[in-house]
Structure 1
Amino acid sequence: MIADFNAMADRLEKAVDDIVTWNSVIAHELRTPVTILKGRLQGLAEGVFQPEPALLRSLHHQADALARLVEDLRVVSLLDSGRLQLRSVEIDLAAEIEGLARLVERDLAKAGFGLRMTLASGRCVADPVRLRQAVLALVDNAVKYAAPCVLEIVTRVSEAEVEISVIDRGPGMPDSLARRAFEPFRRGEDVDVKSGSGLGLAVVRGIAEAHGGQVSYAWRDGLSVFAITMPRRPST
């Protein structure tokens, strides 16, 4: 009984520590875009800055970063409670990925990344909004942790499954991190250097699992390969 009590106390202590860590990470990630928005809006109000296109684009970028962080937090919360609802329809997988690529190519180029796609033709049943969110999170992860390179997005379609892989020339992950990389708030050791909430890969895992699939990581010939695999159609 004493051993059980001690084990329970240890689990509670770890849970409290995790909550403190999560709150700290969330506060840090929210503070940066909020501070930038506040400063530049104040500058506009006081006439220090002129409402030039470059400044307005910067403000939009910070607002978008806030919106995406809030959405990631919402998705993780829904996943934890089992309340994430999908709006699945039949989609052309290649067309969805091509549409996402058009949205991110300019930002990738600014960060020094190219994009190459090898897309298999085929249709599947999925929530297109959530699927794009998951793939975008993998692309963002590559930009944060990989050196500038040509990112690859590869899709495969079989009779039963579809697979979406995002491939980069990142530094790879040690086995100890790779085993837990898809848990919320898990990041590499250089957390002070790399931005990011540590939510992205957890969101990817949750969206994949909500579709009845999974996400995996592998290090192959100097390449980091993140792959979402899911049924082509939901089981009945």
Structure 2
Amino acid sequence: MKKHSIRYRLFFLSAKVTVIGMIISFIVCYLYSLIANGAELETFNFSDYLNALISTFLAITVALGLSLRFTSGMITPIASIIESARKIAEGELSARASGGKYRITEMDHLVSDFNLMAEKLDHMSREMKVWNAAIAHELRTPVTVLRSHLQGIHDGVIQPDSTNIAGLIKHTDSLTHMIEDLRVISLADTGQLRLFREFVDLKVEMRALLSTLAPQFAEKGKVLVQQLEDVNCYVDAHRIKQGILALLHNALDYSSQGKVVVSCREQAGNVEIVVEDEGPGIAPEEREKIFDAFYLADSERPSHVGASGLGLSVVRAIVLAHGGEVKCEPSSLGGISFRMTLQAG
């Protein structure tokens, strides 16, 4: 089937309307003359036909002019969308459509939605480039360390004793955790993070988790303080413990020596899990950014250079998947407070 542009089809349609209108006008005038003159055709004045045809032609011409002006308001934004879509398909994600000279509500909505889609594609493309660079950077260090140690063992420079093997296992675990964190964030971003919910005694689960980590906090001169109330909630126990563990490791790595208070309670029909410390705190302008993947606040960098910046992103992904929210707020202890809010049932 032969393809034609919108302009061609509109012009062809306008021509048909004009011809059909004139034919109908001639027929109407002819029938009217028959009725008015009692079928005496010889008494019919031809000037009546001519006047009617001229009037009809002028009326149709004005109508066509107005309709063409209206359709030009539709053609311009559509042509702009087509051109922008072609550029985007070729990789020019900065292309945007324009609305044209005449404002039509539906066309304005179409152009606005198209530009919004293009903006999101452009943003996703930039984020993907940042992610790829960040992932390559974060994976390069542990992989390089593993390779150098293995090369040293192969060359006989490093002895394959328990200490060196333990170091290799530690680097392997670091890689495993990073890959799992990336998987969780990716699944959450695409809405595919599956939750296996069950009723969980949060106090029991958190107490077991804190008992495991207490020696690590003690080694760094930090004390875990438990303020746990009896709370039952309908959550994915594994994912929630993963999120709490990320918050605890964040406090372990970045907080000052002193108390780290961990609490859980029911509040207004919701469940609140709070981890707060005595310092050094995070600047107000960075409290939202720290939940972005690979972001490290300035106050955190000096204390833990090897951090990947994925832990808090995992926390947010898990909490949002549960329909809750997580906030970073100033703590009454002088440091920072991370508050997870979940639905109880």
TM range (shorter): 0.7 to 0.9
Distance 1:23 1:112 in 2: 37
Q: Which moved more, 1:16-25 or 1:29-38?
A: 16-25
In the superposition, relative to structure 1, how do residues 72 and 49 fare at CA in structure 2: closer, same or farther (>3 Å)? same
Distance 1:26 1:203 in 2: 15
- Are 1:103 and 2:212 an aligned pair? yes
Match of residue 343, structure 2, among 216, 231, 236: 231
Q: More strand per residue: 1 or 2?
A: 1
The corresponding residue for 2:314 is 203
Give CA-to-partner distance per residue, 1:115-169, whole Å, 9 cap, x none. 2211112322211111111011112222333223332211113572221111112
C-alpha deviation, 1:47, in angstroms: 3.6
Larger radius of gyration: 2
- Partners of 1:94 and 1:119 within 8 A in 2: yes
- Partners of 1:172 and 1:219 within 8 A in 2: yes
Give runs of aligned pairs for residues 59-74 of structure 1, distance below 5 A. Answer: 59-74=168-183
C-alpha deviation, 1:13, in angstroms: 5.2
In the superposition, relative to structure 1, how do residues 13 and 231 fare at CA in structure 2: closer, same or farther (>3 Å)? closer
Calculate percent identity across the aligned residue pairs. 36
Q: More helix per residue: 1 or 2?
A: 2
The corresponding residue for 1:132 is 241
Match of residue 54, structure 1, among 151, 158, 163: 163
TM-score by length of 1: 0.84
In the superposition, relative to structure 1, how do residues 160 and 8 fare at CA in structure 2: closer, same or farther (>3 Å)? closer
- Partners of 2:277 and 2:331 within 8 A in 1: no
SS of the residue corresponding to residue 233 of structure 2 reads strand
C-alpha deviation, 1:17, in angstroms: 3.5
Distance 1:112 1:24 in 2: 36
- Are 1:32 and 2:144 an aligned pair? no
CA RMSD of aligned residues (A): 2.7
- Partners of 2:221 and 2:257 within 8 A in 1: yes
SS of the residue corresponding to residue 291 of structure 2 reads coil
SS of the residue corresponding to residue 188 of structure 1 reads coil
- Partners of 2:280 and 2:299 within 8 A in 1: no
Match of residue 287, structure 2, among 156, 175, 178: 178
- Partners of 2:288 and 2:328 within 8 A in 1: no
Distance 1:191 1:21 in 2: 21
Task: Give the total of aligned pairs.
Answer: 233
- Partners of 1:144 and 1:195 within 8 A in 2: no
Give CA-to-partner distance per residue, 1:71-99, whole Å, 9 cap, x none. 11001110111000011122221121122
